[in-house]
Structure 1
Amino acid sequence: MDKNSSADMNADGTKRSLTNRHVQMIALGGTIGTGLFLGASTTISKTGPSVIFIYMVIGLFFFLLMRAIGEMLYKDPSQHTFIAFISRYLGDKTGYFAGWTYWGGLIFMVMTELTAVASYVQYWFPHLPAWIIQVTLLVVLTSVNLIAVRLFGEAEFWFAMIKIVAILAMIVTGIIMVFSSFKTPTGHVAISNITNNFSMFPKGFKSFLTALPMVFYAFTGMEFVGITTAETKNPHKVLPKAINSTIIRIVIFYIGALLVIMAIYPWQNINTSQSPFVQVFSMIGIKFAASLINFVVLTAAASSINSFIYSAGRHLYQLSTESDTHIMNQFQNISSRKVPARCILFSAALMLIAPLVSLFSSITTLFQLISSTTSDLYLIVYALTVLAHYKYRKSADFDPDGFIAPFYKVVDPLLIVFFAIIYGCLFINGSAISATLGILWCVGFGFASSREKSTQELPSDVSGR
């Protein structure tokens, strides 16, 4: 093995195959989800133009979260997940709780996305059974993850490219319509559609609050770029660049798209039952607009599933390295393809529950409730991650020459308050049951984790620096 290839190998047998091109597009793809393509109409209808303010504030907090995660991963880029730092700085029991909670959330999020993918495909093939669609896609994307991490990176590159092209096309179209004062069924395209009679809470403060969790979940998954660090070439150069460009991506792809949508349509006239992208492209005469956006959303969902499979495999692998049980030790194996194949396969096997659910409609409601609960628990894991960062900054491990997160003494407490506010808003936006179940999970599984004997104490700093 030559010097370069040796440098690209990790001590655990995984390989640093992801390039800057892959990571930058994974960062883009992680920022842009189906929430923008499908959910923007609903959030706009709840808040009007003030939705821009919501996206800006929540986007800023996510950026600050990414800076905290990025600082710890910069210090120790050998870690496959940020959960490792929760174990290191908050204790192995807390890491056990966070790791299994986050991994379970990934499994259910894949199952939710698989359910959505089936409906997207059935748009063109209404008689094709949902379970066949779901199993086929899961097998294909699991295979992508098993073959090589570089293939995963290539898949994410092109998935992200499709989303980016669609958004940029819509933004450019909107700008042209503004400058030409394009006539619409509701008037003319103009910036005044955004500014006229502006009100911060046009449908009341409660409606404004209910939109907060919706926008928050549009950003979830942004942290996936950090999970690629251990398999990225030259992470000390690539990781800061990917994280620092987060703000630019939010401004262009979220704020830019929303401003264009509301300039084209007075926000009171937006059809909440249809994607705003479909409405815009249909208006300029693209007859296949619905099919086009359905394809884009399909690829966005496939991208999410691909990333979730990747992330679930690495999180299960991380959990196995922090356990001293015989069963979990079996998951520490790295395949000849330099990936944690057993962890990927086991995670994917559990994801097959989604096709089973599609065969039994009687349990669909229960499945949706569990999925909502697990996604709510992401807020708890994020808060624990911030606490771990705070402890890191006060520890002997702190690297003053690293990728420093700014003003941590103020920012970290603000992040935790922010997560608490978002969780509180769940109780007024129709998610009270899942939010309550999330609290019960924290109490029940938190107690069980505190008594867990299978975890092993980790050294304070295993970075070797």
Structure 2
Amino acid sequence: MKKSGAGAAESDINPDGTRRTLKNRHVQMIAIGGTIGTGLFLGSGSTISKTGPSILFIYALIGLVFFIMMRAIGEMLYASPQEHTFVAFITKYLGLAPGLFAGWSYWLAIILGGTAELTAISIYVKYWFPNWNAALIQLFFLIILVSINSLTARLFGSTEFWFAMIKIVAIIALIVIGLIMIFTGFKDPNGQTSSFRNLTYHFQFFPHGINSFISGIPMVFFAFLSMEFVSITIGETKSPRHVLKKAINETVYRILIFYIGALTIIMSIARWTSFSPNTSPFVLVFKLAGIPAAATIINFVVITSAASSINSLLFSSGRHLYQLSMETNSKLLKPVQKISKSGVPANAVRMSGALFLIAPIISSIPAVQSAFDFIGAAASDLYLFVYVLVIFALLKYKSSSDYMANGFKMPAYKITAPLDIIAFGLIFITLFFNSDDVVPAIGSIIWLIIFGGFCYLRYHGKEPAHEM
């Protein structure tokens, strides 16, 4: 493990040939971009219509759960900043069997998430060009983003920087415009006045019943997915420990500003009862503000947001496949162990990207009414398994020889770690309150039993082929 005071020549190139080319500004913006997904721009209309203002409590609680998990990852990564993926800690502290289960499950979740975003991006583009072929749209975006990820980590970081900037500008614009509307007493065409008092209009914690409230939880959880992605960039970042602490500690502020802040403004401008599950709240607010091109603007934002997600998922999937190839040393995966001259596991990125192409196939299955919802739900379930294993890995790390008493420690871990495990379990249960999530949830249980059982029988007690 490199010390933080290592020289430039030592710290810029990792032992496996990957390069630390990402800078602090890249990582900080990637952290913000990873916190903000298309769920905020599009899905928040559905959650508001289900729960009303009490949706703020759901965002706050699930945001806290994610922050605790991020601190768990951060503590282990601070001790070993050379790791390419946080899943490596599951292998390191829980064993090869749970490590491979988590690694392959997370990699599969990334692939499923990538197909969901590709499916979505073609829908957004067809908003402008309805006659364009969806499969060709998906292929076009995929080729460009795979090419970016195959060149250098720094090019990826620069691309993510600008993708994230677009999302941030859109949210800040909404907050600023919203505050002006509120403080000037703006009235909509129906004569309703914008005011913070709209948050308490017909307020009930469960306005449509407790089942509807609970069914909104998975949608909020999905909106937060990939927040942990910023940790995957640390292995290719300059001054990793300094950058890591800043990126993770500011997670709370990002949640407060970009989620809770934006939703508070949205529900203050218009009464929550006026929101439709099929309409973006951002579009509604901008239209009320007198911006006729509101739908076009938000469509552009969600296209860049989806492209940002695909870009990040390609980066992440490539590093995870590389990690898995090194742990198993499988002949089939030998090609993905190669690091390019620019310090990128390019073959692993390309192989992962090729699997994103299942999106057009899934989109064409008549039985699946909403490919995006189905794939997103399936991916969410697999993430939950990995998140729980990460917390268990943190608990084992605490009693290991790697433990850094003066490191970046998770606060009150004896209390927060078990609470996080329980929280992820409860989130999984909420999937069964939403009819669209039941089949994917059952499928994930079958995956856990069959693939988890295989990993235990095949790899229990064995060591990784290579120590990363």
Bin the TM-score by the shorter chain. Answer: over 0.9
| 1:457 shift after superposition | 1.1
- In the alignment, does 2:329 pair up with 1:324? yes
- In the alignment, does 2:274 pair up with 1:282? no
| 1:28 shift after superposition | 0.2
| 1:459 shift after superposition | 10
Match of residue 404 from structure 2? 399
Aligned counterpart in structure 2 of residue 383 of structure 1, from 379, 385, 388:
388
Quickly say closer, same or farther: Cα 1:67–1:459, change in 2 above 3 A: farther
- In the alignment, does 2:417 pair up with 1:412? yes
Match of residue 265 from structure 1? 270
Q: Determine the C-alpha separation between the residues in 1 that align with 2:139 and 2:227.
A: 26
Give the AA of the match of 2:253: I
Contact 1:324–1:454 (CA<8 Å) still a contact in 2? no
Deviations, residues 150-204 of structure 1 (Å, cap 9, x unaligned): 0000000000000000000000011001110001134100111012443222222
Match of residue 242 from structure 2? 237
For these two proteins, the number of residue pairs brought into alignment is 460
Deviations, residues 270-304 of structure 1 (Å, cap 9, x unaligned): 13221001001111111111000000000000000
Q: Determine the C-alpha separation between the residues in 2 that align with 1:274 and 1:374.
A: 24
Deviations, residues 293-350 of structure 1 (Å, cap 9, x unaligned): 0000000000000000000000001101101322223321101111001100110111
Cα-Cα RMSD: 1.9
Q: Determine the C-alpha separation between the residues in 2 that align with 1:76 and 1:315.
A: 17
Normalised to the residue count of structure 2, the TM-score between the two structures is 0.95
Match of residue 57 from structure 1? 61
Q: Determine the C-alpha separation between the residues in 2 that align with 1:110 and 1:437.
A: 19
The gaps in structure 1 that reach 5 residues or longer are none
- In the alignment, does 2:455 pair up with 1:440? no
The 5 Å alignment of 1:43-442 reads 43-186=47-190, 187-358=192-363, 360-362=364-366, 364=368, 369=374, 372-430=377-435, 431-442=437-448
Give the AA of the match of 2:17: G
Deviates more, 1:373-382 or 1:314-323: 373-382
Identity %: 51
Give the AA of the match of 1:266: R
Quickly say closer, same or farther: Cα 1:341–1:206, change in 2 above 3 A: same
Deviations, residues 364-387 of structure 1 (Å, cap 9, x unaligned): 559664553232111011001111
| 1:46 shift after superposition | 1.1
Q: Determine the C-alpha separation between the residues in 2 that align with 1:424 and 1:268.
A: 27
Normalised to the residue count of structure 1, the TM-score between the two structures is 0.95
Q: Determine the C-alpha separation between the residues in 2 that align with 1:56 and 1:232.
A: 30
Report the 3-state secondary structure (helix = DSSP H, G, I; strand = E; otherwise coil) of the residue aligned with 2:410. coil
Q: Determine the C-alpha separation between the residues in 1 that align with 2:390 and 2:453.
A: 19
Match of residue 3 from structure 2? none
Contact 1:135–1:355 (CA<8 Å) still a contact in 2? no
| 1:458 shift after superposition | 4.4
Report the 3-state secondary structure (helix = DSSP H, G, I; strand = E; otherwise coil) of the residue aligned with 2:216. helix
Contact 2:87–2:390 (CA<8 Å) still a contact in 1? yes
| 1:208 shift after superposition | 1.3
Contact 1:31–1:222 (CA<8 Å) still a contact in 2? yes
Contact 1:101–1:374 (CA<8 Å) still a contact in 2? no
Q: Determine the C-alpha separation between the residues in 1 that align with 2:253 and 2:442.
A: 36
Quickly say closer, same or farther: Cα 1:118–1:459, change in 2 above 3 A: closer
Give the AA of the match of 2:394: H
Q: Determine the C-alpha separation between the residues in 2 that align with 1:307 and 1:376.
A: 19
Give the AA of the match of 1:179: F
The gaps in structure 2 that reach 5 residues or longer are 1-5
